[in-house]
Structure 1
Amino acid sequence: MRPDVLQLYRFYESPLGQVTAHLLGQQMRRFWPDVSGQHLVGIGYALPYLDTLMDVGADAYALMPAGQGVIHWPSTAGSRSALIENHHLPIADSTVDRVLLAHEIEHANRPAHLLREVWRILAPGGEVIVLVPNRRRIWSALESTPFGFGQPYSRGQLYRLMNDHMLPPDRWATALMLPPMGRLGLPRLVAWAEKPMRVLSRSMGGALLVRARKQVYGALPVGGLRRPVPAMAVPS
């Protein structure tokens, strides 16, 4: 079971959801300090983070899986969102600079196939950030947030999966150090406690982020690489 697009939208519109987007967005900006002019695709429900990245110049698009549903995005301009099948992305080979997987891989029936598609559409040297629930933290056990659904991952599990598909991780972080607290005023405590608790342990956060770069030498990803006829190219 995965949250539908309206559940995700309502969470990120709530005070706790806005704090969540802010804290995770900070980590993404550390991973990607300069995305100006780059083609960026968010897969899953990445809208709160794509908003931040578009504000600093990214040419961003949102692809939302059929099992989740799609909404118009961005709200102030023509639509850059599309409903897709995540095992057959409608994008030509090697045309995307950055991919953000958010609220997606933990719900994928075939995560290996999804990562093969990510590898296919990334340009040589392109990068992906994967955002998943941290297996060892309470956020993955509570269904009051989107991180309580799907298959959570430990860092070791996610590293092995990505390495198997020629996406070797080179950086990781966690965020959301305190348990999810939605009462009035408590989301501010979640934000305030983030930095001092990270000093104690960088692995404590309820959400795990891993960055990887497309590897373009050596063997093909496990299971081979499908080469479909391109359906849509990201505009240059």
Structure 2
Amino acid sequence: MRTDILDLHRFYESPLGAAARDFIAARLAEAWGEAARLRVAGFGYASPFLSAFDAAERVLHLAPDAQGAMRWPADGRNLTALVDEAFWPLPDVSIDRLLIVHGLEEASAPRRLMREAWRVLANGGRVIIVAAHRRGLWSMVETTPFAAGRPWLKRQLDALLAETMFRPLAWSGALYFPPYGARFLLRAAAAWERAGSRLWPGLSGVLMVEAAKELLAPVGQVQRARRLVAGPLRPRPAQPAASRAKGAP
């Protein structure tokens, strides 16, 4: 089971969620800027962060079918597709940058998910994973979606990347401020972030890792993935608001 799309949407519309979005987005901007002339995709619930890549050649949001989807962006052509978490309706080597947020913690098969990420990334392509940190307070407070599913340790993410043919390039973290929506805490959130990144970097609420696709992949697994996605699978456009709670596919 995955966190429902409406719960994710409500969280990021709240003052606490907006603060979390801003601090994570700042780290993403440091890594990729506006992703000018690149093909960008997000998996999980990445839509709050994809609007920053307005200089990209193309942007697509892939929403896991067990989570549900909402139309994104709200205005203009819909760029969200509802997909199986392990079989994405994208051609091989078709994406330059991939952002995974709220995607790995509740994945039924994280290794298969990352092999699919490997398949769609172009040679030289990069992925950023934003994952709840097991040692951070955010994974322990159930009022936020970062407490859902399996939180990760750095060594666990490192092992997963190695197993699925990715090479870590840079590690960082975000969300050092307490995961509570009290106004006085939110007013001090920026100070918490600055202090946390310097004084207790191992206690971030989320781990963030940028990794590059390695080209020497296990041949048998790559061929299997290609066979499985070569059929008539097509993206299913999201409705204005769809969720499991309302009978979404």
TM-score, length-scaled by structure 1: 0.92
Alignment of 1:42-57 (within 5 A): 42-54=42-54, 56-57=55-56
Displacement of 1:34 in angstroms is 4.8
Displacement of 1:66 in angstroms is 0.9
- After superposition, the Cα gap between the structure-2 partners of 1:141 and 1:205, relative to the gap in structure 1 and judged at 3 Å, is same
Q: Deviations over 1:143-192 (max 9, x none)?
A: 11110101000011000001111011111111011220112342222233
Displacement of 1:53 in angstroms is 2.2
Could you say which residue in structure 2 is the equivalent of 1:224?
221
Find the aligned partners of 2:34 and 2:137 in 1 and give their Cα distance. 32
Q: Deviations over 1:111-131 (max 9, x none)?
A: 110001000000000000011
Q: Cα RMSD (Å) of the superposition? A: 1.7
* Maintained 8 Å contact 1:63/1:82: yes
Find the aligned partners of 1:200 and 1:122 in 2 and give their Cα distance. 35
Displacement of 1:224 in angstroms is 2.0
Q: Deviations over 1:84-134 (max 9, x none)?
A: 101110000001001111101111111110001000000000000011100
TM-score, length-scaled by structure 2: 0.87
Find the aligned partners of 2:194 and 2:183 in 1 and give their Cα distance. 21
Structure 2: stretches of 5+ with no match in the other structure:
236-249
Could you say which residue in structure 1 is the equivalent of 2:94?
95
Q: Number of paired residues?
A: 230
Bigger Cα displacement from structure 2, 127-136 vs 181-190: 181-190
Displacement of 1:58 in angstroms is 5.5
Displacement of 1:232 in angstroms is 6.0
SS in 2 for 1:87: coil
Which ranges of 4 or more aligned residues in structure 1 deviate by more than 3 Å?
A: 230-233
What letter matches 1:137 in structure 2? G
Structure 1: stretches of 5+ with no match in the other structure:
none
* Maintained 8 Å contact 1:92/1:232: no
Could you say which residue in structure 2 is the equivalent of 1:171?
170
Could you say which residue in structure 2 is the equivalent of 1:12?
12
Find the aligned partners of 1:185 and 1:14 in 2 and give their Cα distance. 15
Residue 158 of structure 2 is aligned to residue 131 of structure 1? no
Could you say which residue in structure 1 is the equivalent of 2:245?
none
Alignment of 1:1-236 (within 5 A): 1-54=1-54, 56-57=55-56, 59-217=58-216, 219-220=217-218, 224-225=221-222, 226-228=225-227, 229=230, 231=233
Find the aligned partners of 1:120 and 1:104 in 2 and give their Cα distance. 17
